[in-house]
Copies of this chain bind each other. A is one copy, B any other.
């Protein structure tokens, strides 16, 4: 692993723990056993370092794809689950989204485009679910509403969790917000969709419980 990668990995770790703004380059350098200017050699600006991390998140999120003809309510929710887990892995970015966009025009542009793609994909997926008889969406307005709402949840669930559900474990947080997603979709769900949703939630919660037991054994 080259120096550049080492920096990115350690930076992500520390940024996630304490927040991007509260980790100084000197501290990061000290942990890495190098000097500050060695970091600025690879990343002239702290923003460049953050941007490199952001690109990794993009890559991770791009990897979460289900073939169109295999999309079910269950696989849709599992996609959301994977995206949420990526958000946890890169939580420092999502917690600082507003500041990063305000400061760094380059990142703002890239983020904007990514989000446009994500929203279009979301819309397409919902349309597939309607065509497959999972969702009973009557009009365009309902579709845009679901896209908007899912986008808002997806972007900011981790921020709300950070300020309001700090005492909950990551698994519990994800469970909470995936439940929110299912409740949002429920009024538009066919009985087939509701059944898959219920199965998904039960499986999810049993995983959360087993995680808690695991944590209990450790502590």
What residues make up the interface of A, taking CB atoms closer than 8 Å to B? 19, 21-22, 95-99, 101-103, 108, 111-112, 115, 141-142, 145, 148-149, 151-153, 155-157, 159-160, 162-164, 176, 179-180, 183-184, 187-188
The chain B residue with its CB closest to the CB of A184 is B149
CA distance in complex: A96, B101 (Å)? 12
A82 CB to closest chain B CB (Å) equals: 21
Copies of this chain in the oligomer? 2
CA distance in complex: A157, B160 (Å)? 12
10 A-B pairs closest in CB distance: A187-B187, A145-B183, A156-B156, A101-B163, A98-B159, A95-B98, A19-B102, A152-B160, A148-B180, A98-B162
| A149: contacting residue among B98, B102, B163, B180, CB under 8 A | B180
B99, A99: Cβ atoms closer than 8 Å = yes
B97, A145: Cβ atoms closer than 8 Å = no
| A112: contacting residue among B97, B142, B148, B164, CB under 8 A | B164
B156, A152: Cβ atoms closer than 8 Å = yes
Residues of B within 8 A of A142 (CB): 183
CA distance in complex: A135, B180 (Å)? 19
Residues of B within 8 A of A184 (CB): 145, 149, 184
